Amino acid sequence: MAEITGLARSTISLRLDPLIELGLIAPATSATSTGGRPSARLLLNEESYVVAGVDFGATHAVASLADLSGKILVSIETKRQISDGPEVCLRWMIEEIRHLLAGLKIDEDRLLAIGIGVPGPVEHESGKPANPPIMPGWDGFDIPARVNQDLKAKVLVDNDVNVMAVGERHLTYPDVDHLIFLKAATGIGSGIISDGRLQRGFQGTAGDIGHVRVSRGDNIACRCGNYGCLEAVAGSPAVIKNVNDAGLPVRNMSDLVDATKRSKVEAIQAVRQAGRDIGEVLSTCVSLMNPSIIVIGGSMASAGEHLIAGVREAVYSRSMPLASESLSIVQSKAGKEVGIIGASVMAIEYVLDAETIDQLVAK
C-alpha cells in the first residue's frame, strides 16, 4: 500500500489501525519483501460482521444472513402473502432475523445492513414502495423506518427483480457487464445491468416490463387497470388458466411444470406461447439496451426449454440483427437463492462503501 499510494508507513498505519480494531481487516501471512522491514499482509475479515438478505415474493418470503463475502450462512423460507401488508410481513422478517442471529450466536450489533427485495416499484433512495399493483397497504410505506424501530442496521430496499439481477451477476456472471435478468412468475419484470452497474432509472422503475402492452392481449384485463399488459397475458396465473381452458386440469405452477415434464401438449403450447409474448417485449429491450446475455428466472423458468424456446423465437426474429447475433438467452443458474444473494450483495456494497467505513471508524 505504501508503494501504491506513496504514503509513509506511519500514515497508512493510522488509517489501518482503526479498521483492525473494528475487526474489518486482519493480518494474514507476511508478504514478500524486497528488503528492509517485512511487509504486512492484510485481508478483509469476512466473518467480522454480517448482513441480512430478504426476498419477498407475491406468495413467499425468504430471510437470510451472509458474511461480508456474500456467502449465505443460514436462511429460512415460508409461504407468506405480500398482500398481508407491511406490518405483518416486516414483523415476520424482524423476528426471523433475530432468530437466525441467535442461532449463530451473533450479537445484533454485528448486523450492519439489511437488503430487502419486494415485488413492486420502489423509490430506492427512500425505500418506499411506489404504487405497487400487488402490494395493498404498501404504497408509500416507510420500510426502513419501521424496521429501524426494532433493528438498528441500515435498511436498503429495491424491486425484487433488480435484486435478482445483482444476485445472478454476482454468483454466475461476474465478468458480464451487460445483462438483463427476466423474472417470469405471478408477475413479470426485469433487472438491467449496463456497464457493470444496476440501472434503476430516474425514479427506480427501469425494467418494469410487466405492464408493457403486447399484441395478443387486447381483451385481457390487467390488475393495474389497463388491458393487454405482458403480465396479464403471460404471467403464471394466465398460463395456468390457458392450460385449464385447453382441457388439462392444473392447479398451480408445480402442476404446470410437472405437466411439461410429462410432455403434455396443452401445457407445452401454453408455456411456449408465454415465452413468445415475453420475447416480443424483450426484443425491443435487446435493440435498445444491447445486452450480451438474458437470464430467465422465476417460477416459470422451471418449465425449462419450453419457455426459453418461445423467448428465443421472438427475440431472434424481432431484434436488430447486430444486437442479437451474439446474444445468449439462458435459464438462471443461481436458482431459488438468487433473491437473497442479491439482497445480501446490495447490503455488503453499502457496508464496504468508503463513507460507511468512515462512519464506523468515527463511532
Q: What are phi and psi of 97, to 5 degrees?
A: -60, -45
Q: How far apart are CA 229 and CA 222, in angstroms?
A: 6
Reported pTM: 0.89
pLDDT at residue 6, rounded to an integer: 77
**Three-state secondary-structure class, residue 215:** coil
Look up the CATH number of domain 50-164+338-362.
3.30.420.40
Q: How far apart are CA 116 and CA 281, in angstroms?
A: 27
Most distant pair of Cα atoms in the chain: their distance: 81
Same fold flag, 50-164+338-362 and 174-332: yes
Rg value, the chain, Cα: 23
pLDDT at residue 40, rounded to an integer: 67
Domain ranges of the chain: 2-44, 50-164+338-362, 174-332
Residue with the three cell numbers 438478505: 53
**Three-state secondary-structure class, residue 102:** helix
Assigned architecture for domain 174-332 = 2-Layer Sandwich (3.30)
Count helices and strands in the chain by DSSP H and E runs: 13, 14
Stated as kind and residue range, the H or E segment containing 256 is helix 253-261
Mean pLDDT for each consecutive 10-residue tract of the chain (363 residues)?
A: 76 83 78 51 88 94 97 96 97 98 97 96 92 92 98 97 97 96 94 96 89 91 92 96 96 94 95 98 96 95 92 96 95 92 97 91 82
pLDDT at residue 39, rounded to an integer: 60
